[in-house]
């Protein structure tokens, strides 16, 4: 039996506009027939303006900024010290990370000039702190950074070229897979995000423990040491994990596209600003 097409059929441009205007909370499952485009558009524009006015009145916090604050407080509470390092880094840090021309990440680096690039990850800054704080702080040394990273990406719904990473790490005693998974579990429980643990590997770290939500990787976690530690003057065991904040927001708010949670002039807290 052939299914009756739902009328009216929108043009591709109209479908796109409706998709942009939809919020994950909108539910059309009980609607048998969609209204004409203009009618639906007007209704959705009105709802999204209301959503934004409601945020202005009741909350005023930016999701991405608030998530950063939540994660910072959580990790500070757990004994990790917050650091902030440069977004523009020496290009030689890329090589020192062990990222060679064969590594897919190599071509993804945004170069600023011959000697400078935008950081694709937080590890170089953290390595510097692990080295410099080793003879200052008691054991174990626990630090983290949250900040913007840049990678040239080609595919869409889960990748941004400008995204926010949290990378926490511990050096010295207690650096076991079990302890690492425990912190990740506590953090993701605190953020109310379901996950699965799988094994993966990458060129920089070798074996990684990947934290997945469905098909999307939300974190890569590693238990060191690894050979390139020595190039950073790091000689003790370590463990650490990197996690993307926009991906966490995508899961939390059920966004269909990660752009909704990115740094943007097109969306505010997942709502289009084109109203």
Nearer to ligand 9VF, 47 or 78 (CB): 78
Nearer to ligand 9VF, 80 or 238 (CB): 238
Q: Is there binding between residue 244 and ligand 9VF (CB under 6 A)?
A: no
> Shortest Cβ distance from residue 225 to Mg ion (Å)?
19
* CA 209/CA 201 separation, integer angstroms: 8
Nearer to ligand ATP, 47 or 252 (CB): 252
| 211, β-bridge pairs | 197, 219
Which residues, at least 6 apart from 69, have a Cβ–Cβ distance to it below 8 Å? none
Among 44, 71, 130, 160, binds ligand ATP (CB under 6 A): 160
Length of the chain: 275
Q: Is the dihedral of CA 122, 127, 133, 138 positive or negative?
A: positive
Q: Is 202 helix (H, G, I), strand (E, B) or coil?
A: strand
Q: Which of residues 2-61 bind ligand 9VF (CB under 6 A)?
A: none
Q: Which of residues 234-273 bind ligand ATP (CB under 6 A)?
A: 242-244, 246-247
Tell me the angle at which helices 245-252 and 63-77 cross, rounded to the nearest 10 degrees. 110
* CA 14/CA 213 separation, integer angstroms: 31
Among 117, 218, 222, 234, binds ligand ATP (CB under 6 A): 218
Binding mask 186-215 for ligand 9VF (x = CB under 6 A): ----------------x-xx----------
Which residues, at least 6 apart from 247, have a Cβ–Cβ distance to it below 8 Å? 158, 213, 216, 217, 218, 258, 261
Q: Is there binding between residue 272 and Mg ion (CB under 5 A)?
A: no
Q: Which residues here bind Mg ion, judged by CB under 5 A?
A: 220
Q: Which residues here bind ligand ATP, judged by CB under 6 A?
A: 121, 151, 153, 159-160, 163, 165, 217-220, 242-244, 246-247
């Amino acid at each position: 039996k052939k299914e009756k097409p739902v009328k009216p059929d929108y043009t591709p441009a109209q479908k796109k506009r409706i998709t942009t205007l939809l919020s994950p909370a909108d539910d059309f499952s009980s609607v048998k027939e969609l209204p004409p485009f203009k009618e639906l558009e007007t209704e959705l524009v009105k709802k999204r303006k209301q959503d934004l006015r409601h945020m202005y009145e009741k909350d005023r916090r930016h999701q991405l900024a608030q998530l950063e604050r939540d994660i910072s407080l959580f990790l500070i509470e757990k004994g990790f010290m917050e650091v902030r390092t440069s977004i523009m880094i020496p290009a030689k840090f890329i090589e020192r990370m062990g990222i060679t021309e064969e590594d897919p990440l190599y071509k993804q680096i945004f170069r600023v000039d011959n000697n400078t690039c935008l950081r694709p990850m937080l590890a170089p800054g953290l390595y510097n702190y692990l080295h410099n704080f080793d003879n200052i702080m008691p054991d174990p040394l626990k630090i983290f950074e949250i900040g913007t990273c840049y990678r040239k990406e080609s595919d869409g719904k889960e990748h941004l070229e400008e995204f926010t990473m949290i990378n926490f790490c511990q050096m010295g005693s207690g650096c076991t897979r079990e302890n690492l998974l425990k912190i990740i579990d506590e953090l993701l429980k605190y953020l109310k995000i379901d996950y699965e643990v799988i094994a993966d590997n990458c060129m920089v770290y070798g074996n990684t423990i990947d934290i997945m939500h469905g098909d999307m990787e939300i974190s890569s976690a590693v238990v060191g040491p690894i050979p390139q530690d020595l190039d950073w003057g790091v000689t003790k065991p370590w463990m650490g994990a990197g996690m993307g904040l926009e991906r966490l927001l995508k899961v939390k708010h059920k966004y269909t596209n990660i752009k909704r949670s990115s740094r943007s002039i097109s969306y505010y807290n997942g709502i289009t600003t084109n109203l």
